[in-house]
A and B are shown apart, each in its own frame.
Chain A
Amino acid sequence: MNGGAVGIGEAIVFWVSGTLAVIGALGMVISKKAVHSALFIALTMINLAILYVANAAPFLGMVQIIVYTGAVMMLFLFVLMVVGVDSSDSLIETIKGQRVAAFLFGVGFSILLIAGIGNGLMETSSTGLDAANAAQGGNVEGLAALMFGPYLIAFEVTAALLITAAMGAMILTHRERWMPKRTQRELSQERFASGAHPGQLPAPGVYARHNAVDTPALLPDGSASDISIPEPLRVRDDIRDVDPAEIDEVRQLSVDSSGKDDGR
């Protein structure tokens, strides 16, 4: 598959996917909303998968897509949904100058790493995985030979690790029920005992010509019912006045139509 040398096609893949991965990583750190961060890091993960495939690791590329973009990012989005999407960052610094110091640390750290790696590795030649893959008949077969050979114990331990993690998650998120579950009958009795309006509130706008939400419903005596207006409008006192002449008109209409009905 891939030799040690990097062809022109792989170089193009590297520069495109690498740039996108860095853009995703920067967007993840910069964006204010947590959901945007999650989407940006999903972009980074997908591009890393492409880079794995380009880098003679097709199996790891597929695992990356399945495990990271498939499972881990969905879990992140799920927890974001539970925690609340708009739980944005507090912009107050608890330690003074921490942001600037962290930024300087990051830049210095990356300069150190890049300079060190650039010095140490740029002159080295690359062997390529052709021989190692061919020894077992392919990349997946080679990985399997290692995983079920020298790394068998570690592989078994990861099974225990995964089971322990699943148990831990269940125990951490489990909530004990302290009181017996209330039945529908008890809930209903409670609702009537409180003395509040037990049923649905009347719907707004029962006019023929106005059915806007700010038009109050009319009670049998012709007066307007305030509780039919939705709470936010009521708080702002944004209620459309009912013209008494209009009420009479409507009443007249209903009388007329009922009279017609009787006649039929």
Chain B
Amino acid sequence: MNPANYVLLSAVLFSIGAIGVLVRRNAIIVFMSVELMLNAANLAFVAFARMNGNLNGQVVAFFVMVVAAAEVVVGLAIIVTIFRTRRSASIDEPNLLKY
């Protein structure tokens, strides 16, 4: 087996995450799909670090995790705020900027 298989797995996971973002209407599940895409990118970074014999990829994956944690905190706070005013977690509901 070739370590490139890890990159292929990450491509599959990234695509599933992208489908999730486009198909699902629940804001929280959309958010989980974004997390899945970030994780897939991390897996690719780790695999590339190993293939190139260079630890930089792992450091970048670590930074991605930090940014993902911050993003989850702010994103979920926004979802809770929207839910409070609109009583819904659907991403079709907030359409005040539409017209």
Contact = CB atoms under 8 A, between A and B. Distances in A.
Interface in B1-34: 1-9, 11-20, 22-26, 28-29, 31-33
A131 B32 contact: no
A105 B1 contact: no
Contacts of A6: 1-3, 5
B18 to A, nearest CB: 5
Nearest to A38: B32
Contact of B6 (A55, A60, A130): A55
Given A22-B16, A173-B77, A72 B59 contact: no
B96 interface: no
B93 to A, nearest CB: 9
A27 to B, nearest CB: 10
B33 A29 contact: yes
Given A60-B58, A173-B77, A117 B4 contact: yes
Contacts of A146: 55-56, 59
Contact of B53 (A82, A107, A124, A129): A129
Contact of B7 (A87, A88, A117, A127): A117
A151 interface: yes
B33 to A, nearest CB: 7
Interface string A88-114: 111010100011001101110110011
Given A158-B66, A166-B73, A25 B13 contact: yes
A80 interface: yes
A79 B26 CA distance: 13
B78 to A, nearest CB: 6
A191 B1 CA distance: 74
A71 to B, nearest CB: 7
Contacts of A121: 2, 4, 7, 51
A219 interface: no
A240 B16 CA distance: 56
**Which of A18, A63, A98, A142 has its CB near the most chain B CB atoms (within 10 A)?**
A18
Contact of B8 (A76, A117, A143, A165): A117
Interface of A: 2, 4, 6, 10-11, 14, 18, 21-22, 25-26, 28-29, 34, 37-38, 41, 44-45, 48, 51-52, 55-57, 59-60, 63-64, 67-68, 71-72, 75-76, 79-80, 82-84, 87-90, 92, 94, 98-99, 102-103, 105-107, 109-110, 113-114, 117-118, 121-122, 124, 126-133, 139, 142-143, 146-147, 151, 154, 158, 161-162, 164-166, 168-169, 172-173, 175
Interface of B: 1-9, 11-20, 22-26, 28-29, 31-33, 35-36, 39, 42-43, 46-47, 49-56, 58-59, 61-63, 65-74, 76-81, 83-84, 88-90, 92
